[in-house]
Structure 1
Amino acid sequence: MVTAGVIVDPEAVPLLQSFGVDDSKKIADAKIPGLAAEIKKICYGKYKVLHLKPVKYNEPYEKFQSQGKNLNSILSWAHSSVIEKLVEIQSVKLVVVDKFANENLIENRLKKLDSTIQLVIVPKAEQNIAVAAASILARDAFLRWHNEVKMEHGIEFPKGASTLVIKAGRAFVKANGAQGLREVSKLHFKTAEDIQLAERK
C-alpha cells in the first residue's frame, strides 16, 4: 500500500499542468517515472511517500483487524501520517483528500495538529492538482517495488486481480512456500486467498 501527499504552492500549479500531471489512473505506467521525477523537482522537499510493502502492511492490518477495525482504518492512519509529515515541512491552509468510508481519524488528528486547516474530503479528489501529483508519486513507488520483486524472484507478477495473477501466485508459492506470500501480497485480498486455496487442492 502506498500513500503519498504533495504540497503544491500556487506558482507550481502551471508547471505541473504543463507536464500533464493528472490522475495516475489516466496515465500509462511507462510515463509515470518521468512525471514523478518532474513532480519531485517542482515540489522539491514538499512531498511525502509512505510505502507499506506487503510484509509491513500485513502486520498492522492484522493488528487493526484484531481490534475490530478494517481496511478503512489503516487507510485513515496512512493518510493522517502523511499529512502530519507534510504540515511539519510547511504550514498549509487547505488539505484535500480522496473520499473513503472512515474519515474521522483524519479529521481528529488534523484538528489536534492545527485547527485552522481546512480539510476537504471529496470523491475523485485527483481532479485537484496536488492529489493528482500525489497519485503519480504513489504509483511510481508501487511500480518500482513491483519491478524489484520481479527481479528478485524471477517471476512476472501481473497487476490487478485475474486468473493470470493467481497462476503467477501459485508459481511463487511453489517456489517460496505459502508463507512467502506475506512478502508480495496483501493477505486479506481475495486474490491471495484464492492462490492459497488453489494450492491446497
Structure 2
Amino acid sequence: MQSSFQKHTSKIEQNALEEITKVRNLLQKDGYIVDEPTKKQYNYEININVGKDKLKFLVYFGKKGIKSVLQGNINSVLYKKLDSLINSKLNFHSEEITEPESYIGSDESGKGDFFGPLVVAAFAFDSGVRENLSDLNIKDSKELSDDEIRKISLSIKKRFPDRISVIEIQPKRYNELYESFKNLNSILIWAHAKAIEELQKKFGYTELVIDKFCSEDLIRTELTKKINNFNLLLTEKAERFKGVAVASIIARERILNWFETKSRQLKVDIPLGASENVNNVASHIKNKFGSDFLSELIKLHFKNYGNIKE
C-alpha cells in the first residue's frame, strides 16, 4: 500500500511529465525536432535540435514541486527564441509573489561567454523609481536587442547613478578566483553579496531579490557575513520584477561594451557565447598574439580552452 508521501511523489512526477509533454507538443507544432521525454533520477528531459544548435529542456520533480529549466547557450538566437516561446505560451512554475515596495535586486551576465568578464549588477528599487522608469521598456535583458539594452541602460545611469552597484570581474581576475574557489557559483555568490552590500549600506533596504542560480543556504551564508538584517527572495525568472530587470540590463550593457571595445582594439570581431565560431576566433587570437595574451581575454575553465590547446 502506498504511503501519502509516495502518492505525493507520484503526483509530482506525473505533473512533471505532463509539463514536459506540453512543451514538446508546443515545439513540435512550431516545427522543431524534439525527441521523446526521457526520465532521469530527478527529472524528465527532452533534446531540441535545429541544425547544429542543440538545447535541452528539463523538468525537475521533488518534495517542493516541479521546476523547469532550458539549458544551452543563453546568448544564441535559438535559446532566446525558445525561451520566449515557452514562457509566452505556457505559464510554468509561476510563483504568486508580490514585488516588494523597496528592495535591492541583482542579476549577472557573462557566465555563458567564453570571452569577456563576469558582471554582477545590483539596483536599489522603490515606488519612486518605478514612476521614473515608466517611459522605458524595462524587461529581462534577454528579451531586448543590443541597441535597446544600450539605450535603456544609458537612461538608467543618468537618472539613478547612486542606485547602481556593479562588480565587473575581468577574465584574468576571474581565472584567479576560479582557481581559488573551483566553482562558478562560489564566484557568483561572492559578487552578488558584494554588489548588494554596497547599496544596502546606502539605502538600508532589507528586502533582497536575486535571480536564482544556486542553493539559497549558500547565498544566505555569504550575505550574513556582510549584512545584519535582510529578507531574501531567491526566485527563478526574477527579472519579472523591475529592480532585477534593471540590474540585468546594466550588467548586460557592461558585457556588450567589453566585447565592442576589445573587438575594436584587436580588429577582430569577438563573438559572444561558447560556440565553434568562438573557438575559431580564440585560435586566431592565440596564433596572432600568443597564448598569454589570449588567457587574459577568456575563462580558462571552459571546455573551449581545452579544444583550442589540442
- Note if contact 2:120-2:191 (Cα within 8 Å) is conserved in structure 1: yes
* Consecutive unaligned residues in structure 1, runs of 5 or more: none
After the TM superposition, which residues 1-201 of structure 1 pair with which residues of structure 2 at under 5 Å, given as runs?
1-65=118-182, 70-197=183-310
* Consecutive unaligned residues in structure 2, runs of 5 or more: 1-117
Cα gap change, 1:81 to 1:114, in 2 (>3 Å)? closer
Distance 1:56 1:148 in 2: 18
Which structure has greater strand proportion?
2
- Note if contact 1:49-1:138 (Cα within 8 Å) is conserved in structure 2: yes
Please tell me whether Structure 1 or Structure 2 has the larger radius of gyration of its CA atoms. 2
What's the RMSD between the two structures over aligned residues?
Answer: 1.5
SS at match of 1:184: coil
- Note if contact 1:77-1:105 (Cα within 8 Å) is conserved in structure 2: no
Identity across aligned pairs (percent)?
A: 35
SS at match of 1:3: strand
Aligned residues: 193
**CA offsets, 1:124-183, max 9 Å, x none?**
111111110001110111111111111221111111122211111110010122222221
TM superposition score normalised by structure 2: 0.59
Which runs of 4 or more aligned residues in structure 1 lie more than 6 Å from their structure 2 counterparts after TM superposition? none
- Note if contact 1:178-1:196 (Cα within 8 Å) is conserved in structure 2: no
Distance 2:271 2:227 in 1: 42
TM superposition score normalised by structure 1: 0.90
Residue 201 of structure 2 aligns with an amino acid whose one-letter code is E
Q: Which structure carries more relative contact order (alpha carbon 8 Å, separation 6+)? A: 1
Residue 141 of structure 1 aligns with an amino acid whose one-letter code is R
1:19 shift after superposition: 0.4
- Note if contact 1:58-1:187 (Cα within 8 Å) is conserved in structure 2: yes
Distance 2:287 2:293 in 1: 10
